[in-house]
Structure 1
Amino acid sequence: MSKSEVNEMSFLDHLEELRWHLIRSTLAIVLGGFIIFLNKAYVFGKLIQGPKDPNFITYRLLCSISKSIGLDDSFCINEMSFTIITTGMSDKFSIHVWTSITLGVIIAFPYILWELWKFIKPGLHDNEKKHSKLFIFSGSLLFFLGVLFGYYIIAPLSVNFLGGYTLIPGNDIMANPTISSYIGVLRSVVLASGLMFELPIIIYFLTKIGLVTPEFLKKYRKHALVVILILSAVITPPDITSQIIVAIPVLILYQVSIYISRYVIKKEQRRAA
């Protein structure tokens, strides 16, 4: 589609174009969710139950690290002090469906990015259109890295802390969270981590449209640190160690975003010259 055609498109034409992109993205999510739905034994037996299993790779690594630095069994986890239950007749089926949809979004994310790119592509310059593959690859890579970080780092810390939290030492209230509550914790930390790792991509587009500059990002770095710590506190257990673990990679991504913004500004200046 040429620039003139884009300019001649009415608002309703843009809405119609957006509608078809959303429809195709939804179909991709449904397809991914259907594949997950058919593999419930692996999904719920391995993926969902993973952070609850004392033999989960994250717990074993923490145990090995604690022993290697002379802390004995301080970070070793031998059992989980809670049992997941269900209280409603249709709870298990509903959780099966919604978990499949959530994982379908994760699986279909590269295609969703592709549809997003096709929607904004007509309004870009020819040299910018050449970076479509880089946009899809980098956006998908960052999202999947965030999802893995959330699943293997934040989720085990959250499950272990919240599941083992005591109100009355030695005579505490029995913890039996529902399956919807347990999966809700996993879903929130995994998706939040995946979206937080998209920060460089977001900064790239905000710089392209002139909303942010490298100077702006550097000037408000301290404010960004406070926001990052608040976000870390929201999606992690309320202990300082977990918050630091989450904040460090996001701070690194923020610094990378400054370099990306600087690169975009220099490129725009060269084009203008």
Structure 2
Amino acid sequence: ADEGEIFGLIGPDGAGKTSIFRILVTVLLADKGNAYVMNYDVAKDFKLIRNIVGYMPGRFSLYQDLSVEENLNFFATIFNTTIQENYETVKDIYQQIEPFKNRRAGKLSGGMKQKLALSCALIHKPKVLFLDEPTTGVDPVSRKEFWEILQKLKSQGITIVVSTPYMDEAKLCDRIALIQNGKILDIETPTNIVKKFDKTIFSVKSEKMFKLLNDLRQFEKTISCFAFGDSHHLVVEHQINLEELQNYLGHHKNLSIKKIEPEIEDCFMQLIQNEKLNES
């Protein structure tokens, strides 16, 4: 990740995102290989790294029986600082939860817990902030607010490394790494990831979606087909004859076929499929 950017680690559950984060913040020792944060070795310089990184785990890990203010003071004390000393760093976030400063952390809503956890991760003014799936289980409004906060932190010069299983959040990062089974499949800007998609893609719907999915996967010119929201995304070679596809699916009622632009999730699925083909 470059200094001062929002770098996204994108992948499904079990892809290895949390393990990478735990290695980089020096709470997990890697079996092999090397990893560096701000040119510091995670194995040799772990004490230095812990002073310059902030870490927000995927699970809420603050003290549930302590109040909002007590949690923040506790983490400030660990890093030999105070809320007042670094207040400007957490001001925009803390002001939103300050009315609840005497409420126990365990009694906060999901969105408020995330803001408290972020405040605690920032209280020592880190140079790099690691956020492990920070918006998982949070309502859409809180998700939007959280990403607005990240953009403000970026403007302060803080490098942000964030993991998420949500492909729509990938678009909000400066660059992303797509990861599956512990392997990085590609690293690029979201725009360039999409530009690399070199196939034709259709959105297909009908009354019987399960049967449609099976039929599409049996079509001789199908490269891949996956359920995607209320439709199926069908990936084919460029030279497909649309009329041929319509004739093949003619027995489906209320059939709808639209050519669409690929999304990051389509690119990710294609990379996974290419990886499987290479392995075989």
Task: Calculate the TM-score normalised by the size of structure 2.
Answer: 0.21
Which structure has greater strand proportion? 2
Task: Calculate the TM-score normalised by the size of structure 1.
Answer: 0.21
